[in-house]
Amino acid sequence: MNSNSKSALVAGAGGFIGGHMIAKLIEQNYSTIIAVDIKPMKEWYQSFSEVDNEVLDLKSLESCKKAIRGGVHEVYNLAADMGGMGFIENNKALCMLSSLINTHLLMASCESKVDRYFYASSACVYAADKQLSPDNPGLKESDAYPAMPEDGYGWEKLFSERMCRHFLEDYGIKTRMARYHNVYGPEGTWDGGREKAPAAICRKVIEAKLSGKHEIEIWGDGKQTRSFMYIDDCIKGTQMLLNSDISDPINIGSDEMVTINELVDIVEEIADIRLSRKYNLNAPKGVRGRSSDNTLIESLFNWSPKISLKEGLEKTYKWIYDQIEK
C-alpha cells in the first residue's frame, strides 16, 4: 500500500484509546506517527516499534513543543489523568491538572501551525441535574449548560472545551471535540482501581468463576443507568469528526442504555454463570442516569455506533480472561 503523506501526534498513546488510535493510524499508513505518554513504555497498553515513541510529561509546554517537533498535520489529545468512578471521585486535583496538557498542547500546536486538533472530552461535562433519574432520556449537547459538571474531572473537560473553542476563534486552529460516553474494550485498564464498569464487571465475574466463590459486589444499588461504546466505534467516530467541519462539541457514544444490573446480566450470560449479588451502597457510584442522545451526530453524519453491547462485551470478556489466565 502507498504511504499516506499525513503526520499525526497522539497524546496519551500509552493509554486505552490512544493505543487503539495508533494502531488505526498505522493501518492507514500515516507517514509519521508520534506516540507520547507520561508512563514508562513498559506500562503502555499497546506499543508499536514502527512509530516514534516518546515518554514525556505533556503538562509542560516545553514537552509539548518537543513532542510536536516543528509540526504535524493532526494532533489527537487523548491524554488525561483519569479512571472509573472510584478514581475520579477521589482524585479531583489530579484530574484538574490535565487542563495543563490541553492548554500547552494547543499553544504548541498553534506555534507549529498544526492543521487539525482533536480533544477528547467526556459525558462528565453534563449538568448533574440532567442525570438525577435512571430513566435518563439521553444527554443532548445543549445539556452541558448552565454548567454543573462532574466535580473535578468534568470541570476540567468543560474548561478544556472552552479553551479549544477560543483557540479556534482567536488563532484559527481547527479544533474538534468529542464528548465520549464510557468507552470500553480490550487493551485497556481492567484492574487496579482506574478501570471502568464494563472491565470491572468482566473481571469480577471471571474471578468469581475461576475461584468457585459465586458472588459479586456491585457498587450502588445496580439500578443506575449508563450507555457504553465499544472502542472500534469510538475510533471511527473520532476520525470522522476530526475530518469534518463541525467545531462544536458532539456526543460520540451509544444510546443503548442499560442498568448496571443488566450489564452484570449480560456478562453472566457470556460467562455461563449466575452469581449472588452484594450491593455496596457506600461505594462511588456517580450519577443515577447517563446515556448519549445521538440525534445531532446522526443528523450531521448519518452515523451511529455499530457494535452492540453484547458483542463488545464478548470481545472484552475474552481479552480480560486471557490477561487473568496469563
pLDDT for position 84: 66
Banded pLDDT at 1 (limits 50, 70, 90): very low
pLDDT tens for 57-98 read 999 999 999 999 988 999 999 998 776 667 778 889 988 999
Q: Which of 153, 184, 230, 321 is catalytic?
A: 153
pLDDT for position 89: 82
Q: Tell me the C-alpha distance between 90 and 29, whole Å.
A: 40
Residue 78 C-alpha cell reads as: 487523548
Q: Determine, yes or no, domain membership for 303.
A: no
Q: Tell me the C-alpha distance between 218 and 63, whole Å.
A: 41
> What's 208's domain CATH number?
3.90.25.10
Do the beta carbons of residue 208 and residue 275 sit within 8 Å?
Answer: yes
Residue among 106, 90, 179, 102 at smallest CA distance from 139 = 179
Shared domain for 101 and 160, answered yes or no, is: yes
Give the chain's mean pLDDT. Answer: 94
Shared domain for 202 and 244, answered yes or no, is: no
Shared domain for 119 and 221, answered yes or no, is: no
Per cent of the chain over pLDDT 70 is: 98
pLDDT tens for 137-183 read 899 999 999 999 989 999 999 999 999 999 999 999 999 999 999 99
Q: How many CB atoms are located within 10 Å of the residue 282 CB?
A: 8
Residue among 194, 199, 220, 197 at smallest CA distance from 87 = 194
Handedness of CA 82, 87, 93, 94 (dihedral sign): negative
Shared domain for 201 and 124, answered yes or no, is: no
Residue 208 has pLDDT above 70, yes or no: yes
Q: Tell me the C-alpha distance between 248 and 246, whole Å.
A: 6
DSSP state of 112: T
Q: Determine, yes or no, domain membership for 298.
A: no
Q: What's the domain range around 317?
A: 189-226+257-290+308-325
Shared domain for 147 and 163, answered yes or no, is: yes
Q: Determine, yes or no, domain membership for 39.
A: yes
Determine whether 145 is an active site residue: no
Residue 82 C-alpha cell reads as: 483519569
**Cα dihedral value 90, 133, 162, 305, nearest 10:** 100
Q: How far is CA 171 from CA 58, 107, 164, 199, 273, in A?
A: 21, 10, 10, 40, 56
Secondary structure of residue 242 in the 3-state scheme: helix
Shared domain for 156 and 65, answered yes or no, is: yes
Q: Determine, yes or no, domain membership for 64.
A: yes
Shared domain for 39 and 113, answered yes or no, is: yes
Shared domain for 56 and 26, answered yes or no, is: yes
Number of domains into which the chain is organized:
2
pLDDT tens for 293-324 read 999 999 999 999 999 999 999 999 999 999 99
Q: Tell me the C-alpha distance between 77 and 178, whole Å.
A: 11
Q: Determine, yes or no, domain membership for 299.
A: no
Rounded to two decimals, the pTM is 0.94
Sole residue written with cell 469510538:
234
Q: Determine, yes or no, domain membership for 142.
A: yes
Cα within 13 Å of Cα(180), Cβ side? 21
Strand bridging mode 257-259 / 225-227: antiparallel
Shared domain for 79 and 179, answered yes or no, is: yes
Shared domain for 179 and 277, answered yes or no, is: no
Q: Determine, yes or no, domain membership for 57.
A: yes
pLDDT for position 194: 78
Per cent of the chain over pLDDT 90 is: 86
pLDDT tens for 97-152 read 999 999 999 999 999 999 999 999 999 999 999 999 888 889 999 999 999 998 99
Shared domain for 101 and 206, answered yes or no, is: no
> What's 158's domain CATH number?
3.40.50.720
Shared domain for 58 and 84, answered yes or no, is: yes
Q: Tell me the C-alpha distance between 121 and 300, whole Å.
A: 19
Q: Determine, yes or no, domain membership for 297.
A: no
